[in-house]
Every structure is written in C-alpha cells, then in structure tokens.
Amino acid sequence: MQNVSGYFDWAATAPADEDIIREATELSLTYFANPSSVHRAGIEAKKKLTEARERAAAVLGVRPDTVFFTSGGTEADHIPLLALLQRPSPATVLISEIEHPAIREQAQMLARCGWNIRTVKPDNRGIVTAQAVAGALTDDTVLVCIMAVNNETGAVQPVYRIADVLAARAAETGKRRAKLHVDCVQAAGKIPFNVSYKGIDSAAFSAHKIGGPRGIGALYLAQRLEPFLRGGGQEQGIRSGTENLAGAWALSRCMERYYLCEPGTSGAKRPENAAALERYDAQCEYTSAFVTALSAIPGCSIVPECRERKPAGGTENDGCYSPWVVQASFKNVPGEVMVRALAEKDFYISTGSACSARKMSRPILEAMGVPKAQAANAVRFSFGTRTRQADMDALVDAAAEIARRFAK
C-alpha cells in the first residue's frame, strides 16, 4: 500500500487501488484475446467486457447499452462536442467559463469551424446558476456543457436545475431542447450524483480520479448520437478502437466501490454506497475543520471566501462545495512557491488543474472575478478516501510555517 499521508493532489490523480489494479491485470492475462474477435477466446474476452459494462451501468442506474468505454475523461468530453460536426450547418454551443480544458479548448476548435460558442460566467462563489444559463440561451443552442464539480474550487454546480431550465425553455418556445453534457470527472465517487436525472443527455467519467488506472474512462449517453470519428465500430460505433478490457474492468470495480448514488435511486441501497456515504460524511467534517484552520493563518484567504461560511458538502444547494477540494491563497507567497516549499516538507499539492498548470494562467479564478494577485497566490488542496484528519492537520501546520516565513 502506498504511503499517501503527504499527498494532497487527489483531484489530479488518485493513488491506485492496488487490489483492483492487480485483479484487472490478472484478468487481462487470462482473457488476452481481442474482445472483437469471433473465435472462442475473443468471445470469452467479450463476455468479461460486457460484465464490466453491466457493473458500471448498475452503479449508475442506467441501461448497459448507454455506457461506452473511452480512453479517459477528455475523450468522453470530446465525443458529444465532435458529434456536432455531423450537423449540416453550425449552431450555438453554450459552455461555462469554469469548464475543464477538455471542454473549453475543444469548444474553441469548434469556433474555428464556424460554430458560435457562448460562455456563461460563474458568480463570485464559482457557481454557474440556472438563471445565468437561462439568460445565455439562444434559439439555436443545441448543446450546453456544465461540469458537476469544479476541479479547482470544488464548487458544486446546480446541474439538475439547469436540466430543468433547458426543458422549460423548450416547452416555452416549442423548439427542440438543447442537449446537456455534464463533466462528472470530479463528481463521480466524490459527491452523491444521479446521472440518470431527466434532462442529462451525456456525462463523462474518468477512472484514475477514483483509484483506477490512467487511460480509461466512460461516456454515458441517454440517447445514441452519430459520432464524428469512425473506425472499427467498437463500442457500438461510438468509440472505435480495440477495447481496453483491463481498464474497463478496473473502472467498473472502482465505480462499484466509490460511486455515491442519490437517495431514492436504484443504487442507493448498495452496501458499497452506504460505506461511500459514510466516508463522504466524515470528509465533510474534516474539510470544514481544515477550512477553519486555514482561515486562521495570517494572510490566508479561502477561494471563494464565502466558503468559510458555508457547509463543506452538498449536491444541489447553491454555494455548496465538494469536501474533497479546497482552494486557498496566501499573501506574499506565490502559488508555485507554496507548492515547492510544501514539497520540500513532503506535502504534495498543486496550483490547479494538472492540465493547465504549465500554462501559468488561472481562467477559472479570473472568471470568478478573483483579483490577479490573489489568483497568482492560489493553490489547491485535494483529498481522497485514504486522507486522514491527522494528515490534514499536519498540512495546515506546514502551510502556516511557510506563510510566516514569507510574512512582511
């Protein structure tokens, strides 16, 4: 078992669950054939791939034929966007300004192809409200992309309310409802979430955020779409390429272990769900204490500052935050300096999304209206299922010592 006592970058990647990785590796050695092959060895491999799909679907409370294995969360985000290129003429896509680069930068490529990309600003809490989405909709909006949990601030977005807004707009105008795609990468296994909520058309998942291997993800599609990229026809033609059996198996097992289902949904009574909810409740308490302790450090501010006065957990209440992610800024300590100084003490954090870290920009914080100096000093602390409260207390002490060193 890895030593993760000083690891606070779980939002970038979670340490692998060794038993699941070993199980998946052993399975791949036994069922080594190509699942698309028609001989007996291929058929046996296909059965295991089907079982993995059924396991993942059962956790999500959806039909197996709506779950498609991909190379990761990024590809799962790309497929609904690229499918738009099948349309005879460009229209409008609406995305929030706090989306992951997988959505934000791919949308920019659509703009180069003639599509109208409209953005919705979050408020100063980092929340994209349903009202803001409603105000940004146009008559030709065909897709709306809203992440469930922001990867830098932990802000939980009101996805269900946004889905209801899109339905109400369609009923009011008599036009076809805009599709809703949800990036669930930081929500799956982190907060209770119901992907089968009416009005959620697609959702992206990633294995390595919840203890699985890199290079495997999943896409939920409530209804089939016509993919832009074609190939060998695997995954019902949605995602061609030789299937990653070991990865799919590991993802399904991680989802069984960690996915939190909303009360009243089909998977809510699973023993694993009860254990996951217990971990979630405990983390809410740990993180609330962590935020309070950080706030007491001279020169430290929580981003957004209103989080200091809000509960750590929540799923659909505006102003709630995932207990697994906290953003903070330290006066006189640039973010990169805090990251390096903590690393010297064997504490590992980041300045934000690993996909954006080398670009030295903070578009999410800028969209929230965070002052430049505060944004430049912001760092992200992210936690996981093996993070102990004592580890978090030690991290606060280390950050406080570094802040004192740089105080003027």
What is the predicted pLDDT for the residue at 354?
Answer: 57
Answer yes or no: are the C-beta atoms of 162 and 197 closer than 8 Å.
no
Strands (E), 171-324: 179-183, 202-206, 217-221, 300-303
Q: Is residue 227 predicted with pLDDT exceeding 70? A: yes
Closest CA to 404 of 309, 297, 313: 297
What is the predicted pLDDT for the residue at 222?
Answer: 98
What is the predicted pLDDT for the residue at 356?
Answer: 52
Q: What's the CA gap between 191 and 199, in Å, rounded?
A: 19
Mean pLDDT of 227-249: 96
Under the phi-then-psi rule, with left for phi > 0, alpha for psi from -120 to 50, and beta for the rest, what region is 336? alpha
Residue 301 confidence class, pLDDT cut points 50, 70, 90:
very high
Domain at 271-406: CATH code:
3.90.1150.10
Q: Is residue 264 predicted with pLDDT exceeding 90? A: no
Q: How far apart are the first and last CA of the chain?
A: 42
Q: Which amino acid is at 386?
A: R
Residue 407 confidence class, pLDDT cut points 50, 70, 90:
confident
CATH topology of domain 22-266: Aspartate Aminotransferase; domain 2 (3.40.640)
Mean pLDDT of 301-315: 74
Q: Is residue 315 predicted with pLDDT exceeding 80? A: no
Spell out the domain ranges in the chain: 22-266, 271-406
Q: Determine whether 278 is exposed, middle or buried from the number of CB atoms within 10 Å of its CB (0-12, 13-18, 19+).
A: exposed
Which residues lie closer than 8 Å to 174 by C-beta, 6 or more apart?
none
Residue 318 confidence class, pLDDT cut points 50, 70, 90:
low
Answer yes or no: are the C-beta atoms of 50 and 58 closer than 8 Å.
no
- Kindly report the average pLDDT of the chain as a whole number: 94
- Residue 283: count other Cβ atoms within 10 Å of its Cβ: 23
